[in-house]
Amino acid sequence: MVAHPESCCSIYRTLVQYLGSTPQRQARGIPPVNRRTTPPTHNEPPRVGSTLAALRTARALSLDELSRQAGVSKSMLSQIERNQANPTVAVVWRLANALGVPMHELLGGAKPDAPAIATVAAHATPALRSPDGRCELRILGPIELAGQFEWYELSVQPGGALESQPHEPGSREHLSVLSGSLEVQAGAESTRLKAGETARYAVDLPHAIRNPGKSAASALLVVLHA
């Protein structure tokens, strides 16, 4: 499932609440998001967003699919998952029925039992494109590791470039080229990689991944946040 950065799958929109930055947000010049550090008080209504997102992800449902099954608009689902809207009892009932869980599981914030093997369908894997439209990043990492350890499948067309501003001090990226060739730049230094080669470099300074060749290239990109 490929989406424009402004409308990508809610897995990414949800994890961004917990990130200072990601390669895509830095490349697009989006400022870091402040992490929530103050826990909700007992007087606040229950926050069902994270539970809803976890239940939906565990069932490999996209926002569109859950929207159709529950009869709740996609925009409302997105707002609920980001804790920007509190659902009515009727909406909670519809969501609980669509997900096959009791209402109190959504309202109480209970975590769903994790399956022994969790799978994500190819069509449910969110993807982002660079501003030039020549780079595609498929988000392979799970939401619970966001902001710590992330990995992506990167495809770069000839002439494509993924340029990023500095991440947190001490952060590093690991780029393993699977096919074609790519150029990696970190600060003033750059190197060219061919298929089978890996570059490990600091990303607490401006950095970029480019395809200066005449054929498409693919790679596995791993980001370790400090």
pLDDT given at position 89: 84
pLDDT given at position 14: 42
**Are 27 and 84 found together in one domain?**
yes
User: Does residue 10 fall inside a structural domain?
Assistant: yes
Strand order in the sheet with 135-139: 127-129, 135-139, 149-156, 217-224, 172-179, 198-202
**Are 100 and 18 found together in one domain?**
yes
Q: CA–CA distance from 150 to each of 42, 139, 196 (Å)?
A: 33, 8, 20
User: Does residue 93 fall inside a structural domain?
Assistant: yes
User: Does residue 117 fall inside a structural domain?
Assistant: no
Q: Is the pTM of this model over 0.85?
A: no
User: Does residue 99 fall inside a structural domain?
Assistant: yes
User: Does residue 143 fall inside a structural domain?
Assistant: yes
Out of 54, 85, 108, pick the residue that ends a domain: 108
pLDDT given at position 22: 54
Q: Report the DSSP beta bridge partners of residue 222.
A: 151, 174
What is the tally of structural domains in the chain?
A: 2
| Secondary structure (3-state) at 142 | coil
**Are 126 and 75 found together in one domain?**
no
Burial of 99-108, coded b for 16+ CB within 10 Å and e otherwise, reads beeeeebbbe
**Are 146 and 217 found together in one domain?**
yes
Q: How far apart are CA 29 and CA 171, in angstroms?
A: 18
User: Does residue 113 fall inside a structural domain?
Assistant: no
CATH number at residue 45: 1.10.260.40
**Are 96 and 133 found together in one domain?**
no
User: Does residue 26 fall inside a structural domain?
Assistant: yes
Digit-coded pLDDT (tens) for 38-76: 444 455 666 788 888 888 888 888 888 999 999 999 999
Structural domain boundaries enclosing 139? 122-224
pLDDT given at position 39: 47
**Are 17 and 41 found together in one domain?**
yes
Pairing between strand 172-179 and 198-202?
Answer: antiparallel
CATH number at residue 146: 2.60.120.10
Q: Would you tell me how many other CB atoms lie within 10 Å of the CB of residue 119?
A: 7
Q: CA–CA distance from 58 to each of 61, 100, 114, 124 (Å)?
A: 8, 12, 8, 11
**Are 87 and 127 found together in one domain?**
no
**Are 79 and 155 found together in one domain?**
no
Segment holding 178, helix H or strand E: strand 172-179
**Are 89 and 41 found together in one domain?**
yes
**Are 74 and 147 found together in one domain?**
no
**Are 64 and 134 found together in one domain?**
no
Ranges under pLDDT 70 in the chain? 1-46, 109-114, 143-144
User: Does residue 116 fall inside a structural domain?
Assistant: no
